[in-house]
Amino acid sequence: MAQPEKKRYIEDEKKRQQRMKRIVFGGQIGLGVLVIVLWEVLTRYEVMDPYYWSSPSTIYETAKIAFLEGTLWNDLVYTSLATLAGFASGTLIGSLVGLSFWWSAYYSRISEPYLIAFNAIPKLALGPVIVILFGIGFFSKVMLAFLMTVIVTALAAHSGIKAIDKDLEKLLYSLGAKRRHVFTKVVVPTTMPWIVSSLRINIALALAGTIVGEFISSRQGIGRMILYAGQILDIDLVWVGVVVLSILSLLMYAGTVSLEKLLLRGQEPKQ
Amino acid sequence: MYKLKVVDASKIFRRDGQEVVALQETTMQIPAGRFVSIIGPSGCGKSTLFNMIAGLIKPTTGKILLDGQNIVGKSGYVGYMLQKDLLLPWRTILDNVILGLEIKGISKREARKRAQPLLERYGLQGFENNYPPELSGGMRQRAALLRTLLYDQDVILLDEPFGALDAQTRLQMQEWLLRIWEDFQKTILFITHDIDEAIFLSDDIYVLSQRPGKLKAKIHVELERPRTEETLLSDEFRSLKQTLLDLLREEPRENGTT
């Protein structure tokens, strides 16, 4: 009598993971497409009023015109540069301020409450003052983006400083290290994951700072374009601005993620 | 001529207005090339003594002499290794080992060249470019000790370096340490509260008493070298162990606290 062949069931982890990845990716794309299609259909059949909601196709057409005229490009470059400059300077100076607290416990403890108080100020409310101080040009936007990011970074770096292992410092001193060695070899690398964890928030904050700066008073920038379009009731153009800003924000976020990888080289970001 | 002399060194802290004696006046004379263990219950001031020798804290009284020169409050004159391996997680094993050389101002390239053969010889070949979290506890301690060794001071302080390892790894590490000690002719001071470990490794064992820490006895270990696992079973070893157990048992125990 022939034995029936036994069925073997082998769990293939790799296959399962690949399958999951495919489904998730497909689902993500599908959801995006669905939202856009719904938006288009609902506004076309006037379930949603196309005057307020515009529609993906109109936004696309309006954007094409704006790009072809060149003004949207100029605005985009203006806003991007102001954001990046504010982000870079805010992060850099914030990190330096935070790191400087390692050098003196007195200095650190005396200034900490002020740092927290300054963090509590809604920086955007300072917008008009910044514009009066620095004018309506490029620099006032950079300043607002800078203010939005600098304290957040300083506080993040300060948390990193507090988490430094005292025994590591001790070890370095036993190896004959001076304070500057401890600073470069232990303090900066230990604090890096904290600083890096603030980058993703910072890029969004910097963009918000720039846009508000452009709202208050500006000759260029996506923020100014949105404000202008709103004033002349060109709601399609407002939507173009919002969509372009969203894409810009996503790109900058992606850039930040690669910057993180570069700065950490194997370490994990910390909160 | 002694390599390291601790002369009447003591340490008193003031806490909440009360003076706490961490270590009573202690004198030790350690000849060059000796392997010396310091054993005692926790809180006996062993680590305080090491921190003073390493120059990380200042003694309340007394002097620390290295080759006759006073090194009180001066760090960087002796190698020091703690129970935690304290390897920098963002550096590879090789780059961790050269840390001391880098601080001395030697270029990374030159330092790596000097460290490479050491890693190969002492059981870390193939791990040079790994990061510390990828290694076992024993391997990490090896790297930490090589880092101390490469810093190249005559005296090395080891504060319970194998305290966190399992028994099997511990024995391997002890044999490994003896090999290094014989190759490099360093003077080693070794803190432990494992009696077997102290006897197995040492030429001399200093016994400290419970707080306030005080030097209680000095025992000379005459066991032949090289020592192996069989040494642990010899009569001499057992009688030494008995002596040490008795010395430590005489300690009046505090009730309910450790």
Query: Each residue of A130-165: pLDDT tens digit?
Result: 999 999 899 999 999 999 999 999 999 999 999 999
According to the model, what pLDDT value does residue B258 have? 41
B83: helix, coil or strand?
Answer: coil
- Between CA B227 and CA B230, with CA B228 as vertex, the angle to 5 degrees is 115
**Closest to A131 in 3D by CA, of A122, A140, A139, A142:** A140
d(CA A129, CA A232): 27
pLDDT > 70 in chain B, percent: 97
Q: Does B89 sit within 8 Å of A265, measured CB to CB?
A: no
- pLDDT tens per residue, range B181-213: 999 999 999 999 889 999 999 999 999 887 778
Instruction: Compute how many other C-beta atoms are within 10 angstroms of the C-beta atom of residue B27.
Output: 11
Q: For residue B105, give both structure tokens.
A: 């101002």
Length of chain A: 271
Helix (H, G, I), strand (E, B) or coil at B25: strand
Listed residue (B111, B106, B79, B118) closest to B95, CA to CA? B111
In this complex, is the C-beta atom of A268 within 8 Å of any C-beta atom belonging to chain B? no
Nearest of B205, B147, B197 to residue B173 by alpha carbon: B197
Using an 8 Å Cβ cutoff, are A150 and A97 in contact?
yes
Say how far apart CA B239 and CA B249 lie, in whole Å: 15
B119 and B93 Cβ atoms separated by less than 8 Å: yes
CB contact under 8 A, A174 and B75: yes
**Range with the lowest mean pLDDT among A110-124, B192-206, B218-232?**
B218-232
Query: By the CB < 8 Å criterion, does A189 face chain B?
Result: yes
Smallest Cα distance from A175 to chain B, Å: 5
* Complex ipTM > 0.85: no
Instruction: Report chain A's mean pLDDT, rounded to a whole number.
Output: 91
**B103/A185 touch (CB, cutoff 8 Å), yes or no:** yes
Of 3.40.50.1110, 3.10.20.30, 3.40.50.300, 3.60.15.10, which CATH number belongs to B1-76+153-159+180-258? Answer: 3.40.50.300
Residue B70 β-bridge partners? B65
**Tell me, what's the pLDDT at A1?**
54
Rounded to 5°, the CA angle B238-B239-B241 comes to: 65
B151/A175 Cβ within 8 A: yes
pLDDT of residue B165: 87
Q: CA-to-CA distance for B112 and B128, rounded, in angstroms?
A: 10
Both tokens assigned to A230: 């709103």
> What was the pLDDT predicted at B257?
42
Return the structure tokens found at B240. 């030494």
Q: Find how far residue A220's CA is from the centre of its chain.
A: 22
Distance (Å) from the C-alpha of residue B247 to the closest C-alpha of chain A? 32
Alpha carbon B235 to its chain centroid, in Å, reads 27
A19 touches chain B (CB under 8 A): no
Q: Does A13 touch chain B (CB under 8 A)?
A: no
Residues in Cβ contact with B231 at an 8 Å cutoff, skipping those fewer than 6 apart: B200, B223, B224, B237
A84 CB-near residues (< 8 Å, 6+ apart):
A206, A252
Per-domain residue ranges of chain B: 1-76+153-159+180-258, 79-152
What is the average pLDDT value for chain B, to the nearest integer? 89
Average pLDDT over residues A168-193: 91
Looking at residue B255, its pLDDT comes to 46
pLDDT band at B256 (very low <50, low <70, confident <90, very high): very low
d(CA A86, CA B243): 71
Q: Is the pLDDT of residue A3 over 80?
A: no
pTM for this prediction: 0.80
Residue ranges in chain B assigned as alpha helix (H): 46-53, 93-97, 99-104, 108-121, 137-150, 167-184, 195-201, 235-249
Tally the C-alpha atoms within 13 A of residue A86's C-alpha that lie toward its C-beta: 30
CA atoms within 13 A on the CB side of B172: 12
pLDDT at B187: 94
CA distance B58 to A230: 71
Phi (first) and psi of residue B98, to 5 degrees: -90, 5
User: 3-class DSSP state for residue B84?
Assistant: coil
Q: Is the CB of residue A269 less than 8 Å away from at least one CB of chain B?
A: no
